[in-house]
Every structure is written in C-alpha cells, then in structure tokens.
Amino acid sequence: MPELPEVETIRRELVSYIVGRTVRRATVLDPKLTLGLPVQEFEFRLIGQRVEGVDRRGKYLLVRLSDRVLVLHLMMSGRVHLRPADAIQPHTRLVLDFDRDPALHFVDVRRFGRAWALDESDLPAVIGNLGPEPLGDAFDWRTLRDAFSDRQVAVKSALLDQRTVAGVGNIYADEALFSARIHPEAPVDRISTYKLKALAKAVVKALESGIANHGTSFSTFETSRGTPGGHQDHLQVFRRTGQPCPRCARPIRRIVIAQRSTHYCSFCQRRPRGA
C-alpha cells in the first residue's frame, strides 16, 4: 500500500488520535521488526514517552516522542491500525498501548516493514539519504535536472530512487509519467527541459490527488481506521493493462523496468528519438 499519499493519510489520522497520549506499554511480536536491536531495549525506549506529534518524511512515518522518535516504514504490506489494545490480529508485529484505547497496531503480512526507536540525533542515519519532499518548497524541475544530469538510467528507475525525490513509488511514478507524456524507459539525460518541468508538476499533481482521495487501496483496507482509500478509481494507467488509454483509447501496455511492473501508453508516451 504505502507510497507518500498512503503514509500521509495515515499520518493525518494518527495526529488526531494519538497526539498527547503517553505510551504505557510497547510489545514487539516479531523481533525481525527492530533490525537487530533487542526487543526489550526497543520497548524500553518507548515506554513512558508522550506523543508530541506525527510527521512524515518520504514514505517514513515519524512519531515524535518526548525525547525520542519512533520511525516506521511500511514497505510493501505494512498497515497501521488503531484498535483496542487486546485486538491482536494474525500478522500484528508491534502494539503501542497508550493511557487509553485505541492502541497503535503495526500489522505486516510480508514482514518487510521496519521500526526504529531513536534519539533525534540518530535520525539522519535512517532518513538522511532521502531526496527533497515533493510537496515542499525544495522540489521543482531543477531537482530533476540536477538528479538526472550525466545519467542514463530509465526515468522510471530514477523516480523510484528515493534520493531523487522522497515518497514516489510504483503507482505514482507511472501516473506522473503518463501525465507528463514521458516514456518510462526514456534515459534521464535525454529528457528536455520542457518535459522535466511537466514531470515535476505531474509528480506533485499525482501525489496531491492521491492524498485528496485518501490513498490507493487495491484489495484490503488501508487507513488506520480500516476504511479503504479511494484513489484506485482515479488511476489512469497503473494496473490497467489492456484497458483503453484515457487520452487516446489505445490499450495500456505493461512492461518491466527495474523488476517493477510499469504501465504506460505507447502512443501518448513516445520514446525519445534514438533511445
């Protein structure tokens, strides 16, 4: 589920539900979650801490505590649920109990998700390599120009690289490239300034649209309150292989770039000449 719009949707819900609460108990049910930090130490670092706020950096969720920060990355299948402390589900990996319900449950079928309990000063070690926030002032077409210079990688790969811009994943990369009419295999150093400007705007538009629809959910529920997002009904190309392009009605194609499914219209998104 989780790209920037989905994580942002969760963040906004957490802000209204857990800010001001104090952690009474932390329970790690899957030691893999803490990446080698002993479970007891992880839990100890959270207990007694008050939630001061909830931030987001790219696809990372940052739960600001009195003098620590809990960082969550949902990877492919992670979910955050707000439910009673004792309502443990099959794939629950972490539960934070507060002074009253609901508790925060981190549920993750595939077990790729991670959690860190850090001092603020250790945050850069986890999120220090991220590119600019696409919805912040630091991002515009020059960001892409600088990241793309002297490189030949496919633009789709470059957008998925979190050092380029933080938070874009497979769905919103495909959607943005469609909006900007850029072929996903276009080598980044051959994209015109005109197209780069279109792409920067398309990235912002795609992400903002996702947020406005509370994220994209394909099969299971998604937001922390268990309601599905609605953006899947607004996707133009992603997972629409064979269906008509919204612009020209020719069938959407699916190819694989960097081992990721990629969806595009071969008529509207022309390969640069000579590439």
Location of structure tokens 């100890």: 44
- List the catalytic residue out of 11, 45, 59, 240: 59
Query: Residue 60: is it exposed, middle or buried by C-beta count within 10 angstroms (0-12/13-18/19+)?
Result: buried
| Rounded distance between C-alpha atoms, residue 225 and residue 206, angstroms | 24
- Nearest 5°: CA angle at 64, between 8 and 74? 45
Q: Does 169 bind DNA (CB under 7 A)?
A: yes
Q: Which stretch binds DNA (CB under 7 A): 18-26, 44-52, 164-172, 198-206?
A: 164-172
- List the catalytic residue out of 2, 5, 102, 132: 2
H or E element in which residue 11 lies: helix 4-18
The long-range contacts involving 271-274, CB below 8 angstroms and separated by at least 24 positions, are 271/183, 271/185, 271/186, 272/183, 272/186, 272/187, 272/190, 272/191, 274/190
Nearer to DNA, 97 or 169 (CB): 169
105 to 134: interface string for DNA, x by CB under 7 A:
----xxxx----------------------
Nearer to DNA, 43 or 174 (CB): 174
Exactly one of 219, 233, 242, 274 binds DNA (CB under 7 A); that residue is 219
Prior bond of 246 cis (ω within 30°): no
Q: Which stretch binds DNA (CB under 7 A): 10-18, 176-184, 209-217, 266-274?
A: 209-217
Q: Which of residues 6-45 bind DNA (CB under 7 A)?
A: 6, 32
Q: Does 171 bind DNA (CB under 7 A)?
A: yes
Using CA atoms, how far residue 181 sits from 199, 246, 258, 272, in Å, is 8, 12, 20, 11
Tokens found for residue 70: 């809990």
Q: Which of residues 242-261 bind DNA (CB under 7 A)?
A: 258-261
48 to 77: interface string for DNA, x by CB under 7 A:
----------xx-------------x-xxx
- Helix, strand, coil: what percent of the chain each, to 5? 30, 20, 45
Q: Least distance (Å) from DNA to the CB of residue 100? A: 30
Chain positions contacting DNA, by CB under 7 A: 1-3, 6, 32, 58-59, 73, 75-77, 90-91, 109-112, 151-154, 157, 160, 162, 169-171, 215-220, 222, 229, 239, 258-261
